[in-house]
Amino acid sequence: MLKEIANRRSRRIIDPQRTIDPAVIRDLLEAARWAPSCSNNQPWRFVISVAESLVQVKEALTKGNAWARQAPLIITVASNPDLDCRIKDRDYFTLGLGLAVENILLEGTSRGLVVHPIAGFIERKVKEALDIPEEYRVHVLIIIGHPGDPEKAEPDLVKRENATRERKPLGDIVFQEGWQKSFNI
């Protein structure tokens, strides 16, 4: 397995004093751009907040994501089903979004950054802050920064950062040769 996959975590302790180099931001977005999508439609739209809009987007965060207010960069990910394939009533745009977001997470992880996707925000406020058209949905915000000093962080955040990373066993999520049939490879 790639080390970036094994090392990726949704960390929350961010150094508020360090910005993200513009070349690194470009590389994160290039990683997303190269994600696969149905018929190469690339249904994702990204809005970068590093200056004026950053404060407004942070105001849209829910209480549980207060830690994200330390971030120097937030990438807002939006889309619309009409931007991608719809085959036999199956919309593919969400798959493409997920693949593009994962590429950002892995690229950021490879650079030692905190890259944490969140759903805890008020969509209306984010759309207003960024002038996102009504027909688009904001699917996720990606909180990005350099790791912060755990000594200066809230004890609860430190505890979450140091918790063992757990995943369900493959046998709980993978079936073989049919639904609910045991996986045995």
Each of the 185 residues of the chain gets a pLDDT tens digit; together they read: 999 998 999 999 999 999 999 999 999 999 999 999 999 999 999 999 999 999 999 999 999 999 999 999 999 999 999 999 999 988 999 999 999 999 999 999 999 999 999 999 999 999 999 999 999 999 999 999 999 999 988 898 999 989 998 999 999 999 999 999 999 88
Q: What is the pTM of this model?
A: 0.95
Domains of the chain: 3-150+165-173 (3.40.109.10)
Both tokens assigned to 122 = 């008020």
Q: How far is CA 108 from the centre of its chain?
A: 10
C-alpha 104/C-alpha 107 separation (Å) is: 5
Record the tokens describing residue 48, joined without a space.
């970068």
Residue 143: left (phi > 0), alpha (psi -120 to 50), or beta?
beta
